[in-house]
Structures are given as C-alpha cells and as structure tokens.
Amino acid sequence: MSDDIILLAHGAGGGKSAELVRELFLAHFANAVLAQLGDAAVLEAGGRLAFTTDAFVVAPLFFPGGDIGKLAVCGTVNDLAAMGATPVALSAAFILEEGLEMDILRRAVESMARAAREAGVPIVAGDTKVVPRGSADKLFITTSGIGLLPTERPLPAPERAAAGDVVLVTGTLADHGMAVMIHREGLDFTSEIRSDCAPLAGLVAALLDAVPDVHCLRDPTRGGLAAVLNELAASSGVCIEIDEECIPVSPDVRVACELLGIDPLHVANEGKMVAILPAEHADAALATLRNHPYGQHAALIGRVHPAPAARVHLRTPLGALRILDVPAGDLLPRIC
C-alpha cells in the first residue's frame, strides 16, 4: 500500500479502492470465492447460493428519488441480481448516533419496508447499535442478502466477456450521484434531478429469461460506468469499446455534469445494470429491457474486442478513440 492513512478516495470505487482491496483485504482474506470479486459470492451449500453484504453511509439521509433506507435494500438486491440470483432474504444492521431523531429512523425503516416489498424479499434478521454523540453521522445501515442461483444455465461472471459481445446499459447514467450531490450542496437547478434508486431483480430476471446466456452483469455504483467496464475488461482480458453518442444521459444530468466539470461516466448509479452478451441476442435483450418500467431507456453502447487486453476505449462524436480509465480520486464522497 502506498498510503499510510485511509483517504476518502479509498471508498470511491476507483483506483484507490482497487488498491485497498487487492493489497490489504485480498492479501489477508485470500480464498477462491473472494478472489472472484463478483457483486456477490457464489456458494455451494446443497445448491448454489449467492451471498453479499454492503454498508450505506449516504449524506444526506434523504434526497430526491430515495433515501438511505431504500438505498440499503436496493443496493443489496441489485448485487444479488447482478449474479443472476433471485433474492430470498435480507438482514439489516443499524448504527445509530445518540441524539438521532426517532422520526428520521422511522422514515428510513418505513422506506426500507416499502423497497423490500417491491423487491419481494423479506428482512429476516438484524442488529442495532447506538454510539455516543459525535461517533457517527446520524445513521449508517449495513444490509446482507442471500439469493438462489439457477442450476440450469451459466452464470454471468466478470471474466466471461468475449470478443464479439455487445455492451448494454439499462437506462440513463449518473442520475443517483448527481441527485445526491446537488441536494447535499444546495445547488439551484431549474429542474429537479432524481436518483434512479430501484430494485432490479425483476428486470434482470426478465432479461435472463429472454437471453439464454448473459456473459456479464454489473451494477455501476461507485466509480460509475467507467469503473465497472475497466473491471470487466481486466477480468476478461479484453478491450471494451463504447460509443459516447450512444450512452444515455438525461439532458438535466448532462448539463449539471458540464457545469460542475464532472464526467457522468464516473458517477454512481443505483438503479442501472451493465450487461455484456452475445451480439445475436442484442435485439431480444433490448426489447425485453425496454418493456420493463426500469429499462425503458436501455441502449446498446459498445462492443467487445480481443485487444488491447484490459483496456476500455471511448469513441468520441468526432470518431477519435480515447482511453476511458477509472476515476483517479473521490469525485462524490458518501453517495451510497
């Protein structure tokens, strides 16, 4: 590790995050399951199970389109869905700061319950800890989830992207990160940008029913699309080329990003999936996604090439290619 202290960048999903995982956690927790670095671990326990856990420290706790409770459920449900799993149960652990208003906690819990009902998954276990005033920032939530994996079809995995595949996204990018940042900073825009926070298990199930073999699925949260594509390109040893003109970004989000000097491809999403699959299934996949409420703006944004390995290229509107790298630092801290 090149750093002596933890920086905000270590939690941003970019290069520093990858370094922390690789050089500290993987080095000490080394095992074959963890080494896969999927959105969830695949376990053999009388059948195939997916297991995942995630912590949520978003600030502010409530923002247009979502809140920490909804985010905690959707984030874990989507990690399971990205493995092709059907979520069956969640747990929730709460870190509460002394002095937190009970109404804030009640609102967050009620939001969690609504999101869990929509996702069709119960919250079956939990824990609560209260820490002294000043030891936390109001409310942190950790959720874990278990999902059932099918045995009759191949599972999407980070190393399965292959030359000739196409790259799809299920909708507009950067909505969540920009909604949180703008609300947090009190910036004044003529129209409200809302988080895309949503449970995607139903959308993914429909896609997997329509396409017999989806090679890769990832939800582009911290680090955004750029981080996810670089992880998949490195894991699969391929080059992923995307077309900037094909990437869906809402006009309001695009304007906000331009004004703030932020690349929307580096901004977190909480209600989108990236799918890589054989080109012959692209039309069926797009039709299925666009027929779902959470996939209406799905788009084909790129293709997979054999070389140069572990590289992501962005084709600009002028036809030039540039390298799309992972974010160097922490653009938007505490957005999930």
pTM of the model: 0.92
Domain of residue 316, CATH code: 3.90.650.10
Q: Note down pLDDT in tens along the chain; length 336 residues.
A: 677 888 877 876 677 888 888 888 888 998 888 888 777 788 887 778 999 999 999 999 999 999 999 999 999 999 999 999 999 999 999 999 999 999 999 999 999 999 999 999 999 999 999 999 999 999 999 999 999 999 888 999 999 999 999 999 999 999 999 999 999 988 887 788 999 999 999 999 999 999 989 999 999 999 999 999 999 999 999 999 999 999 999 999 999 999 999 999 999 999 999 999 999 999 999 999 999 999 999 999 999 999 999 999 999 999 999 999 987 666 788 899
Q: Left, alpha or beta for 47 (phi > 0: left; psi -120 to 50: alpha)?
A: left
- Is residue 274 located within the same domain as residue 314? yes
**pLDDT computed for residue 330 by the predictor:** 63
- Is residue 144 located within the same domain as residue 171? no
- Is residue 266 located within the same domain as residue 179? yes
Nearest to 201 by CA among 271, 288, 285, 153: 271
- Tell whether 156 is covered by a domain: no
Please count the structural domains in the chain: 2
- Is residue 55 located within the same domain as residue 97? yes
- Tell whether 160 is covered by a domain: no
The parent domain of residue 210 ranges over: 165-323
97 and 136 in contact (C-beta within 8 Å)?
Answer: yes
**pLDDT computed for residue 328 by the predictor:** 67
- Is residue 253 located within the same domain as residue 144? no
- Is residue 101 located within the same domain as residue 140? yes
- Is residue 144 located within the same domain as residue 283? no
- Tell whether 63 is covered by a domain: yes
Domain of residue 81, CATH code: 3.30.1330.10
- Tell whether 157 is covered by a domain: no
- Tell whether 6 is covered by a domain: no
- DSSP 3-state assignment of 321? strand
Last residue of a domain, one of 91, 117, 148: 148
Provide the CB-side half-sphere exposure for 152 (13 A, CA).
3
Residue 156 DSSP one-character state: P
- Is residue 38 located within the same domain as residue 182? no
Last residue of a domain, one of 148, 176, 192: 148
Last residue of a domain, one of 148, 173, 188: 148
- Tell whether 330 is covered by a domain: no
